[in-house]
Amino acid sequence: MTLDSLVLIVKHIIDISLVWLMVYYILKNIRNNVKLTLLFKGVLIILILKLVSDWVGLTTIGLLLEYVIMWGPLALIIIFQPEIRTVLEQLGRTQLLGRHKVLTVDERERLVYELVQAIDYLRKARIGALIVLERDISLSDYIDKAKKIYADLSSDLLISIFFPNNPLHDGGVIIQGDKITCAGAVFPTSNSSKVNKKFGTRHRAALGIVEETDAISVVVSEETGRISIAVKGDLFYNLSLDDVRMMLIDELRPKQDEQEDIDEDDYDEDK
């Protein structure tokens, strides 16, 4: 094997590795976005239908699908421009480990403790609240349009923000790590059928932001005092404080810890 052929092989390996790395991060960000996941599934269905129509010989449907495939990408870029921009922004960021993962175990426990303390007060006082915790996907677009705070997280501060006479109580609070970054944030509302028609803007906004990002949303109902958590495109309603505490602890755990628990469970099963 000559040096030129060896260099050529190395180039091919690097080329393929970069392509797979790009595909990996694109699929990772698509998985964290409910709308893009549905879009990806729709594109796969169209491609499968095209292959089936060509194989069976369905000329008319094949021609229609060919036009869809030809002009579909342009339409998708226009319609889903915000979601595509979010994915591209994430690919360009170095936030690979997620801000919440730099917290120590004690810091995460303190974060959950302060949140639960505030939520307990808010539910008893029937004070509406929307608290969003950032994870891997940045919420900078929403932070830029909100009122900046950049303060240490405390239950007293959260309660004062959502107090009815406070001008910021109508919006949402965004937490990065163990800091309250901003208040009065406005999030996209969900049109999902998963949301009960009786739910108001807070619940729809809580679900809307987790449909587009991997954030965690906590909602306290102003009318009933009930607590809900939205995560991974789903809304969990009427939770107890213990449920909230356990869900937050579980969702805020770094992925490497989750993987270690999975490995330990597999090891125990093998034994």
More confident residue, 212 or 265: 212
Instruction: Please tell me the predicted confidence (pLDDT) of residue 117.
Output: 95
Give the side-chain half-sphere CA count within 13 A for 34: 17
Alpha carbon of residue 81 to chain centroid = 17
Q: What is the DSSP string of the chain?
A: --HHHHHHHHHHHHHHHHHHHHHHHHHHHHHT-HHHHHHHHHHHHHHHHHHHHHHHT-HHHHHHHHHHHHHHHHHHHHHTHHHHHHHHHHHT----S-GGGGS-HHHHHHHHHHHHHHHHHHHHTT--EEEEE--SS--HHHHHTSEEEEEE--HHHHHHHHSTTSTTTTSEEEEETTEEEEEEE--PPP--TTS-TT--HHHHHHHHHHHHSS-EEEEE-TTT--EEEEETTEEEEEE-HHHHHHHHHHHHS-HHHHHHHHHHHHHHHH-
Closest CA to 100 of 267, 252, 270, 255: 252
Residue pLDDT, tens place only, 25-69: 666 666 656 666 767 777 788 888 888 888 888 778 778 878 777
Return residue ranges of the chain for CATH 3.40.1700.10. 99-256
Mean per-residue pLDDT, 197-208: 86
Q: Which CATH number fits domain 99-256: 3.40.1700.10, 3.40.50.10490, 3.40.50.2300, 3.40.50.920?
A: 3.40.1700.10
Residue pLDDT, tens place only, 86-139: 666 555 544 443 444 467 888 889 999 999 999 999 999 999 999 999 988 888
Q: How many CB atoms lie within 10 A of CB 28?
A: 14
Instruction: Please tell me the predicted confidence (pLDDT) of residue 15.
Output: 84
More confident residue, 97 or 208: 208
- Whole-structure pTM value: 0.64
Residue pLDDT, tens place only, 134-193: 988 888 888 888 999 989 999 999 999 999 888 888 889 999 988 999 999 999 888 877
More confident residue, 38 or 260: 38
Instruction: Please tell me the predicted confidence (pLDDT) of residue 267.
Output: 47
Instruction: Please tell me the predicted confidence (pLDDT) of residue 98.
Output: 41
Instruction: Please tell me the predicted confidence (pLDDT) of residue 218.
Output: 96
